Structure 1
Amino acid sequence: MGKRICVLEDNDDIREIISFVLEDEEYEVFSFSSIKDFEKGVKGLHPDAFLLDVMLPDGNGLDVCCELKSENETKNVPVLMMSANFSATQMRKRCTAEDYIHKPFDIYDFVKRIDAQIHHN
């Protein structure tokens, strides 16, 4: 079984592309389109990383990052944030994610950055 990654992305097309790319790299992908679904679905999964969009229909991925980093069970799990509207500098001021990916992203760079976080732990 591959490494597990939880993806929180509200855009269906982007979520589908991310899942396809990561599954092709032999990751086990669990994807969610809302914070509500993410919070319900992530329990008990023990992922190796989280990939979170910033702007979501029911909240903000930066807040989700802060929440994950404050909980004992997930505080050491790498979080990668994605955004088309926020810069890495803006995101760093709001949460302590391990990496920040700007959309649109280069697929090869995207995979390399995720691999680096997962294999770093």
Structure 2
Amino acid sequence: MKRKKVLIIDDDVSILEVMQLVVNELGCETYTFPTWKSETIQEIINIAPDLIILDEWLIGVKGSDLCIILKSINQLRRVPVILVSGTEGLAEIARKSFADGYVEKPFDISEIEEIVMKF
């Protein structure tokens, strides 16, 4: 049986590590990016993730803007993207950026587990 591939993009390394541990415990393959560069899109296409967990506030770019870009790429348009942030109005930001869901910080580990199992 194929393991689910989960990509996590967050510039807060401690949150990135916690999410990676949680996702690994669920038996998924995890890929992490602590930064965003223009070549990251090709790397994501090559990984072919089943789920992307994306922080809203990355250095120099908003996750919601990246979500719009990811959803416009043929190979990635059907990949669920979940925005993660402590930003007020995250539900509306997620809706406007075509995200498939959102998790507000601070989050419980169970919320991440639920998202990974759902998608």
TM-score, normalised with respect to structure 2: 0.90
Aligned pairs for 1:67-106 within 5 A: 67-106=69-108
Equivalence for 2:116 = 114
The alignment of Structure 1 onto Structure 2 pairs a total of residues equal to 117
Match of 2:47 in 1: 45
Question: Residue 65 of structure 1: CA displacement?
Answer: 0.4
Corresponding residue number in structure 1 for 2:23: 22
Question: Residue 23 of structure 2 contacts residue 116 of structure 2 at CA under 8 Å; is this kept in 1?
Answer: no
CA contact (8 A) 1:23 1:29 kept: yes
Distance between the aligned counterparts of 1:21 and 1:93, measured in 2?
A: 26
Alpha-carbon deviation of 1:40?
Answer: 5.1
TM-score (norm 1): 0.88
Equivalent residues of 2:9, 2:35 under 8 A apart: yes
Give 2:29's aligned amino acid: E
**Regions of 4+ moved over 4 Å:** none
The CA deviation at 1:34 is 1.3
Letter in 2 for 1:12: V
CA deviation profile, 1:51-83 (whole Å, cap 9, x unmatched) = 000001021110110011111111111111100
Aligned counterparts of 2:82 and 2:24: Cα–Cα separation in 1: 17
